[in-house]
Each structure stands twice: as structure tokens, then as C-alpha cells.
Structure 1
Amino acid sequence: MTKSKRITLAHGNLRFSAIEQGSGPLVLLLHGFPDTLDTWGEQMAVLADAGYRVVAPATRGYEPQSQPEDGDYSSEALAGDVLAWIEELGGAPAHLVGHDWGASIAYTTAMAAPEQLLSLTTMAVPHGGRFLAEIDKHPKQLRMSWYILFFQVPGIAEHVIKRKDFAFLRWLWQTWSPGWDFDEEEFQEVGAAFSAPGVVESALGYYRAAVGMDSIRGRKSYDGSKPWPIDVPTLGITGKNEGCIAAEVFSAMMREMDFPRGLSVVQVPDAGHFLHRERPERVNALLLDWLAKHDAA
């Protein structure tokens, strides 16, 4: 088994901690909310032993040194970080894997620079454009996504997240993955990360950038009939017991017309939102099979 090491990545004057393991084609693993770069512990060694160079960074704002002075957490800025990392790590096309917000970042990266990617794997969150444009058609999902609107309330959202040792984030874990009996140590890693200066505000910045006035205007002008093309072979994975974005909504918003290079959608039984942690053997098998099919550009 190859050993992992801590490295630092850069984009402009921002610095990002990352874990690296193995050698071979590059696989970038992007974590979600509320989570950290350590979310990928069950995947890194398996992928490294299979012949990949695996890198799991902390995304923008999840550390003080990666918090931009202008507070830019737009999808374009987040994708720009990923493209800078790929260049820094050698410039060859990479496999991109994202969970939750990491999936959202991955979609934007794939739309912006498909030539930089060998494959795309997204977990728990469907095509970002479809989700924002069509969530109104899914009343159940509107109810499930109440927290997105709550996160728009400055000051109050920050206070609720921070109180009682991040009890709200613990509740989200339990609600989004109702069958996951996670270890307390796993959650403490999240609490430690969110305790650092500015991290809670940065994490909320993702949501506030995503549902601002520009995105609202875009949803009102879009009728859903045109594709949002992602020209990268894509594997979308959801948990059957998903408590954040319902599995049926995920499947409905992953459409072949949006993925001209191919799309495969898989539902993992007995798993919720954090499916890669809950059912690592199943997710790892899916990943290894998908990556092997797309190692050649």
C-alpha cells in the first residue's frame, strides 16, 4: 500500500491543503458540505493501489489561507481553482470525482474545460444547471432544500451552525444519511475544520453565490427544453435513502441530452447522502470500473 502525504496547492495567492497518494493518471477528489478533504479516506488507498495518483484538496474557503479577500465563491471561481490544480499537478487530463458541492464544482469544471478531463464522477448532486432551473417542478425537493434559503440569512445562519459544537451540522449528517452510524471521530474532524476562522462564512458563501439574483433571473428565463452540455463521460451516483436530494430527483435531472459523451446513473441501495462513506466497497467498485474505461483521452 502506498503512503499518503500532505501537500499544498495554489491558485493565485490562495493556498489549499491536500492529501496525495499513489502515482499514475491523476484523480482529483472534491469534498462537499458539511465535510472536509478527509472524506475520501475509504477511496484514496484503493484508487492509489489500482495505479492512480489521487489528490484530495480542501476546496476554497475551507481553510483561512484559501479564503479570497473579495469573497468570491461563484461556480466560476471554484472551477478555476480545480483547473489551476490540474495545471500545477502536471497539466495532463484528469479524472474528476465530486461529492455534494464537490459534484457541483465538477460539473462547472467539465462545462468550462472538458479537454482537461478524462472522466467525471458525481455523487449525491445532479447536473447543477438542471437542479437550479427545475427544482420548482419537484415540490418534495423544494421542501427538502429548505436549508438553502435558510443559509441566505446573514448572521442567523452562521449562529445556528456554530452553536452547541455544530449540532446543526451533526443533525444534517443524520438527516441526509438516516441509516449511517458514523463514528464520533468522523464528525469531530468536521467540527475542527469548521471551527477555523471564516470557514462557516465561506461554506455559506457557496450557497449565497449559487442562488443570488443572477441565478434567479436565469431560472425564470429557462424553459428546460435545451441541453446543458457536459462533454465529458459522466457517472452519476446517488443513494437510495438520500435525505438531501431525493434519488428520484437526482435521476430525473440526469439526462442523456446533457451528456453527449455518455452518461451512466447508478443508485446505491442502503445508502444516503454520504454514500461513499456508508457503502465504500460498492462505490469503490463503481469508481474503479468507470476510471478504467476512460483512462485514455
Structure 2
Amino acid sequence: MSANGLEFPVLEAGAGPLVLCFHGFPDHAQSWIPMLNRLATEGYWAVAPAMRGYWPGGAAPDGSYRGSATGADVVALIEALGRDQADLVGHDFGARAVYSAASVNPARVRKLVGLAVPYGPQLMTAFVANGDQQRRSWYMFFFQTRLAEVAVPLNDFAFIDRLWREWSPSYVRPDADRAALNQMFQQPGVLTQTLGYYRQLFAPPSTDPAVQALEARANGAIHAPSLYLHGVEDGCMSVDLSDGMESVFKNGLQRIVIPDVGHFLHLEKPDEVADHIVRFLKA
């Protein structure tokens, strides 16, 4: 799928109103397959693209892995798929992408669903001032170093296994899913490209006034009716970071905290999470 200067690999199912699903790290579009199938049975055209950087030819053409760039990808994909508007679902960095798209291009977004990563200024504040979140986010700071490219692939990506265990302590990944994800990260350039999301997360602001203006808009208010889902056992992002985020959602935010699940809640309780999302989209 050609969009925004990239050829996005996509998974899709069904026909009807468009729902786009975006994954995070360390993950890939295949994790959305159960959700795509459920959405298809509910009468939707469900599409899960790879995020920029997550395939060998997917390096950011402009060098950017910031929210404004991934949000622009979201909007470009809606247009490339021939639709004026779509419902958006995003997990982790995929959530950041759909928040950006909804903030910058509200006319393109009918409804929005975010999973596991909240939205609002409190998130960046937590990285600086919240000791509990700093402990949870230790890997982000490690990823700023070039040691990451050496350490992450060691022992068949034991580093990635550790993140999944810490973030979703009650979830056991199927061997086939683990192997498929590791195979993706083994592809030329993919690991360094995906680490770019973290390396630019704390990078100094751009000196380009146009980019500065776009970044400001990408962190603005969201006007699409929205749903936010977070697991109580999330070892990556504390559920407390979503407290008060309603203030930046100008047409309503439904916030649901789900017990007994961690960061990858759409895989841990796929039916329950899909029920919440379908109910919200059809309301």
C-alpha cells in the first residue's frame, strides 16, 4: 500500500466502514489478526498496516519516527485506501500515531481508540519526575545507547522476551508468535529503525519552524469521540498515567481499566477488548 512515500505491508479482513489498527513496540501487525477477524464479522473493513520502520524497506523517508510523522502516515493511509474518514485503533506507539492523526486532521477521524499508552502532557512529565514510571521505562534510556543493537538480539532476542514478561506478566506468548516477531527484528535495518522511535522521543525539538508547528498541532486537543483501555497489570505504563486525560478530549472520552491484564491487553483478553471496541464503534 503506497502512502506518504512508503510501501506499507498491510493485513486486512472484511468489508464495510474502514477501521485502521496500528501496533506498537516490540510488536507487529500480526498481533491484530484476532481483532481484524472480529471487526470483519461485525461488518467493518479492518486493516492493520506495519508501522514505519518495521520492515526492511520501511525506513522513514524523512528520517522521522516522531508522533507527527506516524500520524501523517495514518492520514495518508486513509486516503490511499480510498476513504474520507476512518475509525482508528492504536496500541503503544500505534496509539501515539492515532492521537497525532486525530489532533492534526480531525476531519479524517470518526472515532478513536487508544490502548495502553495515554495521551496528554502528564506522560512526558512522568518520564522526568515520576520514579515509578522511570523504573518501568528503564529500557527507553538503554535504547538511547548503541549498546542496544548488540544487546537486543543476544540469546535469540532474550531482551524482547524480558519486555513481554515485565509488561504482561500473566501472558504466555505462543511459540509461533514469538518466532515470527523475532524473525521480523532479524531483517536488515529493522532493529535500528524501530529503536528510532525511542531515540527521537527524548531528542531536542526540531529547529525547523514548520516542523515545530506540526509537532505542536500533533500534541493538541482531540475532537473525535474516544475510548481508552488500560490493563491494571501493565508493567510498561502505569494505569495512573491515564488519570485526568479526559481534559484533552473535547468530544468525550470513555476510559476503561481492565483487571488481570497487562500491556498487551488485546492479546491477553481478545474477546473482552474487542467487545469494548465494537460496542464503542457501533454506539
2:106 equivalent to 1:114: yes
Letter in 2 for 1:171: R
> Match for residue 198 of structure 1?
189
Alpha-carbon shift at residue 13 of structure 1 (Å):
3.6
SS at match of 1:125: coil
Instruction: Pick from 109, 115, 118 the counterpart of residue 126 of structure 1.
Output: 118
Alpha-carbon shift at residue 12 of structure 1 (Å):
4.2
> Match for residue 59 of structure 1?
51
Letter in 2 for 1:278: E
SS at match of 2:199: helix
Q: How many residues align?
A: 271
Alpha-carbon shift at residue 230 of structure 1 (Å):
1.0
Give CA deviations for 1:43-86 in whole Å, capped at 9, x if unaligned: 11110010000000001010112213553212221111111100
> Match for residue 189 of structure 1?
180
> What is the distance in 2 between the residues matched to 1:266 and 1:139?
25
> Match for residue 63 of structure 2?
71
CA contact (8 A) 1:29 1:96 kept: yes
> What is the distance in 1 between the residues matched to 2:259 and 2:22?
23
Matched-pair identity in %: 39
> Match for residue 157 of structure 1?
148
Distance 1:192 1:183, change over 3 A: same
SS at match of 1:118: strand
> Match for residue 222 of structure 1?
none
> What is the distance in 1 between the residues matched to 2:256 and 2:61?
39
> What is the distance in 2 between the residues matched to 1:233 and 1:197?
39
> Match for residue 80 of structure 1?
72
SS at match of 1:23: coil
> What is the distance in 2 between the residues matched to 1:15 and 1:129?
32
> Match for residue 11 of structure 1?
3
> What is the distance in 2 between the residues matched to 1:45 and 1:209?
34
> Match for residue 260 of structure 2?
270
> Match for residue 38 of structure 1?
30
The two structures, once aligned, show a CA RMSD in angstroms of 1.6
2:228 equivalent to 1:236: yes
Instruction: Pick from 169, 175, 178 the counterpart of residue 166 of structure 2.
Output: 175
**Long gaps (5+) in structure 1:** 1-8, 216-226
Of 48-57 and 160-169, more deviation after overlay is shown by: 160-169
> Match for residue 216 of structure 2?
none
> What is the distance in 2 between the residues matched to 1:133 and 1:107?
18
Letter in 1 for 2:229: I
**Long gaps (5+) in structure 2:** 207-218
SS at match of 1:54: strand
> What is the distance in 2 between the residues matched to 1:12 and 1:203?
18
> What is the distance in 1 between the residues matched to 2:220 and 2:66?
18
Instruction: Pick from 127, 131, 135 the counterpart of residue 143 of structure 1.
Output: 135
> Match for residue 41 of structure 2?
49
SS at match of 2:64: coil
Alpha-carbon shift at residue 133 of structure 1 (Å):
3.5
Alpha-carbon shift at residue 130 of structure 1 (Å):
3.3
SS at match of 1:214: coil
> What is the distance in 2 between the residues matched to 1:136 and 1:201?
25
Of 200-209 and 128-137, more deviation after overlay is shown by: 128-137
> Match for residue 256 of structure 1?
246
> What is the distance in 2 between the residues matched to 1:156 and 1:59?
24
> What is the distance in 2 between the residues matched to 1:275 and 1:43?
12
CA contact (8 A) 1:129 1:228 kept: no
When the two structures are superposed, what TM-score results if normalisation uses the length of structure 2? 0.92
Letter in 2 for 1:190: L
Give CA deviations for 1:108-142 in whole Å, capped at 9, x if unaligned: 11111111001110100000543113443422111
Alpha-carbon shift at residue 14 of structure 1 (Å):
1.5
Letter in 1 for 2:162: W
